[in-house]
Amino acid sequence: MSRPPAAVADGYDRCILVTGGAGFIGSAVCRHLVRGGRTRVINLDKLTYAASLSALAEVEQSPCYRFVQGDIGDRALVGRILAEERVDGVMHLAAESHVDRSIDGPSVFVETNVTGTFHLLEMALDHWRTLTGEAKARFRFHHVSTDEVFGDLPFDSSRFDEASPYRPSSPYSASKAASDHLVRAWHHTYGLPVVLSNCSNNYGPHQFPEKLIPLTIMRAAAGQTLPVYGTGENVRDWLHVEDHARALETVLRCGVVGETYVIGGRTECSNIAVVTRICDLLDSKMPLPDGTPHRALIRMVADRPGHDRRYAIDPSRIERELGWRAEIDFARGLATTVDWYLERARGSAG
């Protein structure tokens, strides 16, 4: 008789290795899984500049949770974790993700997103091959990716879906596209049971303030200028990170092996509209001392190279087949996100 996974033997439904679990989306996933109380979560994170252990304060003392500082490219470490914990699911979120940084220094994106994923796949395959019976049948490798691998869309009614062709525009999206292809190859060639997901732009608490929404909130709260690329008409499909965390668990547990699911919030909004919404919220929550509206801080700046025009996701498949749908509307989610950052800005000022 095969030995059950350690998590199952200890009373949990399963044990999930979350890579990049101290990042913005990864920490939301860890919090979500631990809150459920039935999943043992092993968080492997290198703790690069965008990581935040404070985002994990809620779960760090939970018996369901273990943090390991390390690199997904460290095969010996990954192998030990997989074996010791008898992991039966990997949720791979560890990645470099900021487009501007990929333009300035693409090598680290190739090293982490492509080579790192290769090493992780190799160790996951080795581990899966040691499993037998139910433990082997339940194992999944969930690769978490981005809609940016599909390139961009014109300003019309078209949207990305699971059949959209790959047309990455930046070093970041190209590195994620490469990792997607590696994951599919390990499934088709070696039989590794994988599922993939590609998400739209995430927002919410704990996001590192280099991304549009937290950067705008923090700069506006400080009375600093608000740079907006080009004309500001570039459109993104916004998804609250808590909705995304629910979707990722759903794909891991219920997704069909070898299949891809695109995840979006059905909320398209231009960058300039997002910035002006934040300005208007701040006018009521933290007015500037001289009464000037925050919109006066907006400055249009030179567009970045290869700036994609529009992203939009059609999440019909995950809604129809897996029963997930976004629950946090953008107006409410943006308001609570602004409140979260303002509380921390006030705390740091005090």
Q: pLDDT, tens digit, for every residue of 262-295?
A: 999 999 999 999 999 999 999 999 999 999 999 9
Let me know the angle formed at the C-alpha of 142 by 138 and 146, rounded to the nearest 5 degrees: 160
Q: What is the pLDDT of residue 350?
A: 53
The residue-averaged pLDDT of 195-217 equals 97
Question: Which domains are present in the chain?
Answer: 13-200+241-264+313-327 (3.40.50.720)
> Of 90, 89, 106, whose CA–CA distance to 98 is shortest?
106
> Of 169, 183, 196, 193, whose CA–CA distance to 317 is shortest?
196
The residue-averaged pLDDT of 73-78 equals 98
Share of the chain above pLDDT 90, in %: 93
The residue with tokens 């990929």 is 102
Contact, 110 vs 179, CB < 8 A? no
Contact, 216 vs 281, CB < 8 A? no
At how many degrees (to 10) do helices 212-221 and 330-349 cross? 50
Let me know the angle formed at the C-alpha of 22 by 47 and 192, rounded to the nearest 5 degrees: 100
Q: What is the pLDDT of residue 345?
A: 82
The residue-averaged pLDDT of 322-346 equals 95
The residue-averaged pLDDT of 18-34 equals 98
Let me know the angle formed at the C-alpha of 281 by 278 and 285, rounded to the nearest 5 degrees: 130
Q: What are phi and psi of 229, to 5 degrees?
A: -65, 140
Beta bridge partners of 92: 19, 143
Higher pLDDT: 64 or 8? It is 64
Contact, 7 vs 13, CB < 8 A? yes
Q: What is the pLDDT of residue 12?
A: 77
Under DSSP, the state recorded for 85 is T
The residue-averaged pLDDT of 167-185 equals 97
Q: What is the pLDDT of residue 1?
A: 37
Averaged pLDDT of the chain: 95
Measure the CA–CA gap between 145 and 265, rounded to whole angstroms: 15
**Does the pLDDT of residue 2 top 50, yes or no?**
no
* Active site (catalytic) residues: 147-148, 172
**Does the pLDDT of residue 9 top 80, yes or no?**
no
**With bands split at pLDDT 50, 70 and 90, how would you rate the model's confidence at 346?**
confident
Q: What is the pLDDT of residues 114-147, one digit of tens each?
A: 999 999 999 999 999 999 999 999 999 999 999 9
Q: What is the pLDDT of residues 55-68, one digit of tens each?
A: 999 999 999 999 99
**Does the pLDDT of residue 248 top 70, yes or no?**
yes
Kindly give the residue spans of alpha helices, DSSP state H, lying in 10-95: 24-36, 75-84
Residue 151, by phi and psi: left (phi above 0), alpha (psi -120 to 50) or beta? left
Beta bridge partners of 147: none
The residue-averaged pLDDT of 19-46 equals 97
The residue-averaged pLDDT of 225-232 equals 97
Task: Please give the order of strands across the beta sheet that includes 235-240.
Answer: 201-203, 235-240, 268-270
